[in-house]
Amino acid sequence: MNHLTPSTEYSSKYELYQKLTSIPHDRRRILHGLNPKSSIIFQQSSNLKPLLNLASNDYLSLSQHPDVQNAAIVATQCNGVGSGASRFVSGTRSLHFELESTLGHWLGREKVLLFPSGFQANLAGVQALADRHTLILADKLIHYSLLTGVHCSGAKLKRFEHNNLTDLEYKLKVIRKKSPSQSLLVISESLFSMEGTSPNIPDLITICKRYKARLMIDEAHAVGVLGPGGRGLTYNYSGVDMISGTFGKAFGSGGGFLATNNLIGNWLLQTSGAFRYSTALAPPLVAATVAALDLIQNHPFWGTDLCKRSIHWRNQLEEAGWQRPQGIGPIIPLILGDDSKTLILKTRLEEVGLSCPAIRPPTVPNAKSRIRFVLSRGIPTNTFSRLLKNLL
């Protein structure tokens, strides 16, 4: 029942209308669709030609792999489309245990828990490692889901400059001198989704150990692509208390996970509301992820090959006069700075059949608007020549 009077309801709608219209035109979002059979983006207007998708995080093109699709079909027939309840009620299937065990072994982690999304996993992970007595030091560019987790935990937050470990160590040193027993948590990512950059993981671990700070790393964009056999950049390093990840990127499926040690894993199991009160990850997605993981294990150089291709793109862009995009992974940002210029270039690329999203604030800092290219195994070999021809 609507308890607003006509006058207050009108006032509320008017205020919302004002807020909506205050968003600059250059920063408004529109939705595009995808024809998954051909990895082609389509738009609402029938006058626009189909576009080659250079925006997807399906790095290994596994969402269309027959093994992954067939696994989802069989799981649907055997287990239904949805789990029907939380893991603690009746939502748990043997598939959940299989994926948690296999993934934990592959990543070298004692405990893995599955979540319906990577966003939800990050919420749960931060809340498991921090509370209102904790001070969190987070990279300035961490994902919004991690920041939301910080807010929900009640912890205090300090930011350090992006991938600047000198800045992080200085802040930790000052904090430890002032509060020797302060509970500390450092949060970063192994591959930043809008920058394509990575921190120096060994140095980051060393600093956290030196100042007795826990460490959480979001590996969402790295697992499956970076690190030994695609195991992520934290693989084989002790000193990382928890990693988070998603199956919606390199695995071509959906859902998220947390990987940690037995103690923290059991603490999550007993206390995490994000885990307890959510319907369990759908069986078709779990089965698809199991199949994708098997493919990644059997093709450990897929990620390496993709990174080699991305380095070639970076070299070619630099030779063409563009500032070399940082990083080595499949995320390649071309920073233009101005919102309008970025949208103009996006439109020009669409006119020649290439879909490259314009990333603007608040997703990235002000004056840092960019075109974001994402490489995947499935894009044609002549894609870069088509792209470069229209960047000059």
Which residue shows structure tokens 């030994």? 228
Q: What are the Cα distances from residue 375, in Å, to 7, 166, 303, 311, 313?
A: 52, 31, 11, 11, 9
Tokens linked to 119: 């966003």
Backbone angles phi, psi at 41, to 5 degrees: -75, 140
Predicted pLDDT at 31: 58
- Prior bond to 333 cis, omega within 30? no
pLDDT digits (tens, 9 = 90+) for 61-76: 999 999 999 999 999 9
- Around Cβ 79, how many Cβ atoms within 10 Å? 18
Of 111, 100, 162, 121, nearest to 365 by C-alpha is: 162
First-to-last alpha carbon distance for the chain, in angstroms, is 58
**Distance (Å, whole) CA 49 – CA 354:** 10
Extract the tokens encoding 253. Answer: 């499926």
Phi and psi of 271, rounded to 5°?
-120, -15
Question: Beta strand pairing status for 256-260 and 242-246?
Answer: antiparallel
* Domains of the chain, CATH where assigned: 28-57+301-389 (3.90.1150.10), 66-298 (3.40.640.10)
Residues 6+ apart with CB under 8 A from 317: 324, 325, 332, 334, 388, 391
Spell out a b/e string for 293-309, using b for 16 or more CB atoms within 10 Å of the CB, else e.
bebbeeeeebbeebbeb
**Per-residue pLDDT at 32:** 61
β pairing state of 134-139 and 183-189: parallel
Q: What amino acid occupies position 194?
A: M
pTM given for the model:
0.89
- How far apart, in Å, are the Cα atoms of 390 and each of 49, 140, 143, 351, 385? 17, 33, 31, 10, 9
Amino acid (one-letter) located at 150: V
Find out whether 60 and 296 touch, Cβ atoms under 8 Å.
yes
DSSP reduced 3-state for 33: strand
- The whole-number pLDDT of residue 7 equals 61
The alpha carbons of the chain give a radius of gyration, in whole angstroms, of 22
| Predicted pLDDT of residue 23 | 80
Give the chain's residues under pLDDT 70. 1-11, 26, 29-49, 392
**Predicted pLDDT of residue 14:** 72
Strand order through the sheet with 242-246: 111-115, 256-260, 242-246, 214-218, 183-189, 134-139, 156-160
The pLDDT score that the predictor gives to residue 45 is: 44
Query: Quick one: pLDDT at residue 9?
Result: 62
Q: How far apart, in whole angstroms, are the C-alpha atoms of residue 113 and residue 92?
A: 12
d(CA 55, CA 124): 28
Rounded CA-CA distance 80/249 in Å is: 24
**Whole-angstrom distance, CA of residue 287 vs CA of residue 95:** 7
The alpha helices in the chain, defined as continuous H runs, are: 6-21, 66-79, 94-107, 118-129, 144-153, 165-178, 201-210, 262-271, 273-276, 283-298, 302-319, 339-351, 383-389
